[in-house]
């Protein structure tokens, strides 16, 4: 490059030296063993006018940029395609980038949308089309056949059993577990008139609402968060209930009219938690996910799932539970209810704050309620489509 001989701007272009098209050159493999490419592109720039700093040397600014690019994704992230599911997948992607430099390279992470049965069938209650696993089955298949490397789940959608060959290796920090009351007409549940329509597909919400407000009418109300709020605004129903965690993750809390106290509405098992599954034999993904795991969330969620497993609960069963850390101990609350809300059985327990302690507490609480409940209670649930 020639030095400027006067204060006038001299234009030097590199176009004659190399093609304007990107030039690719092979570089050393990434730590993961996947191939990487150095993408080189040339461009020209005019020399600046006289420098204002006394000691500045003005030279031509022909420049070259090199961007590391992974040829094949190191981690393929499987997710459902709803806005909330995608927000959770993007959160996972960003955490992986932040914690592992090799995953911050262009193309190292790929988000793969998998459509599940629960996404396809929206005109029927979940209980009528198969209960649990409706939002996870297709992701499990994609994980096992290698189309994806990890699967990001809303933990409340995940059955208590996992397909052989998969493991829930990680849970991200839990969001607010409570439910939000949403209405464009009324300020609270107490303001709803007799016969008001409540849009919900959740039997847990339905049974707890009818227990406290027996004059309300609950109607099936499915779809993603955005479509439910749109239907609400169109007057299809008088109100609906949604997990505040989802509204927080999508920056939509302005729609929440009121957050419900847990004495009014105990949350679903694992509500507000994100779990990430991978293949049990995939050491690389296990390493990545171990770094993201939030153990406090995992202990609480697995306690609640042990309670659910002890009751053999499904989407056809109104079950609610919440476990939290208080000091050095675990505090648990759980309930089961009849579909009409007339019968609600509750339990609470205190246990050791540890993974094993949480599972023991949850299992014991589930067994206790199963023992307490009269045979007719379970028979009624079966008659109404229960799965005990």
DSSP labels, 294-356: -HHHHHHHHHHHHHHHHTT--TTS-EEEEEEEETTEEEEEEEEE-TTSS-EEEEEEEEESSHH
State the chain's mean pLDDT as an integer: 80
Residues 178 and 172 sit within 8 Å (Cβ to Cβ): no
Neighbours of 174 (CB within 10 A): 20
- Summarised one tens digit per residue, pLDDT across range 208-257 is 999 999 999 999 887 788 888 999 999 999 999 999 999 999 999 999 99
For residue 31, the model assigns a pLDDT of 43
Lowest mean pLDDT among 109-123, 315-329, 357-371: 109-123
- Point out the catalytic residue in the list 119, 140, 149, 157: 157
Residue 133 has pLDDT above 50, yes or no: yes
CA 371 to each of CA 301, 350, 378, 388: distance values in angstroms, whole numbers, following the listed order = 23, 19, 11, 13
For residue 62, the model assigns a pLDDT of 38
Residues 277 and 169 sit within 8 Å (Cβ to Cβ): yes
385 Ramachandran zone, left/alpha/beta (phi>0; psi -120 to 50): left
The burial of 68, by beta-carbon neighbours within 10 Å (0-12 exposed, 13-18 middle, 19 or more buried), is given as middle
- Nearest CA to 217 among 206, 225, 228, 208? 206
- Report residue 374 as tokens: 């009269």
- Residue 368 Cα to chain centre, angstroms: 31
- Summarised one tens digit per residue, pLDDT across range 83-99 is 999 999 999 999 999 99
Segment 346-362 shows an average pLDDT of 97
What does the DSSP 8-state code read for residue 155?
G
Sheet with 63-70, strands from edge to edge, namely 23-26, 36-43, 63-70
For residue 118, the model assigns a pLDDT of 58
Range list of β-strands (E), 200-313: 217-219, 239-243, 258-259, 274-279
- Report residue 265 as tokens: 């509405």
pTM here is 0.77
Q: Is 157 assigned a catalytic role?
A: yes
Beta-sheet pairing, 197-199 with 217-219? parallel
- Report residue 306 as tokens: 């042990």
Cα–Cα distance measured from residue 158 to residue 97, given in angstroms and rounded to the nearest whole number? 25
């Amino acid at each position: 490059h020639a030095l400027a001989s006067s204060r006038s701007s001299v234009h030097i272009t590199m176009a004659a030296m190399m093609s304007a098209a990107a030039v690719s050159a092979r570089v050393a493999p990434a730590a993961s063993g996947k191939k990487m490419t150095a993408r080189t592109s040339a461009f020209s720039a005019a020399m600046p006018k006289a420098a204002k700093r006394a000691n500045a040397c003005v030279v031509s600014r022909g420049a070259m940029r090199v961007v590391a690019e992974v040829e094949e994704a190191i981690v393929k992230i499987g997710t459902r395609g709803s806005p909330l599911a995608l927000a959770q997948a993007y959160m996972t992607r960003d955490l992986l980038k932040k914690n592992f430099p090799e995953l911050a390279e262009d193309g190292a992470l790929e988000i793969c949308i998998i459509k599940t049965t629960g996404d396809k069938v929206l005109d029927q209650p979940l209980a009528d089309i198969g209960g649990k696993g409706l939002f996870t089955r297709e992701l499990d298949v994609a994980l096992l056949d290698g189309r994806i490397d990890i699967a990001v789940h809303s933990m409340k959608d995940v059955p208590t059993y996992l397909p052989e060959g998969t493991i829930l290796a990680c849970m991200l920090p839990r969001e607010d577990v409570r439910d939000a009351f949403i209405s464009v007409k009324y300020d609270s549940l107490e303001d709803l008139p007799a016969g008001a329509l409540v849009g919900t597909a959740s039997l847990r919400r339905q049974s707890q609402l009818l227990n406290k407000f027996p004059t309300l009418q609950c109607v099936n109300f499915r779809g993603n968060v955005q479509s439910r709020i749109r239907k609400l605004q169109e007057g299809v129903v008088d109100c609906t209930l949604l997990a505040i965690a989802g509204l927080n993750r999508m920056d939509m809390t302005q729609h929440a009219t009121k957050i419900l106290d847990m004495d009014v509405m105990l949350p679903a098992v694992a509500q507000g938690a994100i779990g990430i599954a991978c293949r049990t034999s995939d050491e690389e993904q296990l390493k990545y996910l171990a770094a993201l795991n939030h153990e406090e969330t995992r202990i609480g969620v697995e306690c609640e799932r042990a309670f659910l497993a002890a009751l053999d609960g499904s989407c056809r069963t109104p079950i609610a539970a919440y476990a939290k850390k208080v000091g050095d101990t675990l505090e648990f609350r759980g309930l089961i209810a009849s579909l009409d809300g007339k019968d609600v059985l509750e339990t609470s327990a205190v246990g050791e704050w540890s993974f094993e302690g949480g599972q023991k507490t949850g299992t014991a609480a589930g067994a206790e309620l199963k023992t307490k409940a009269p045979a007719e209670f379970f028979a009624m649930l079966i008659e109404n489509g229960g799965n005990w």
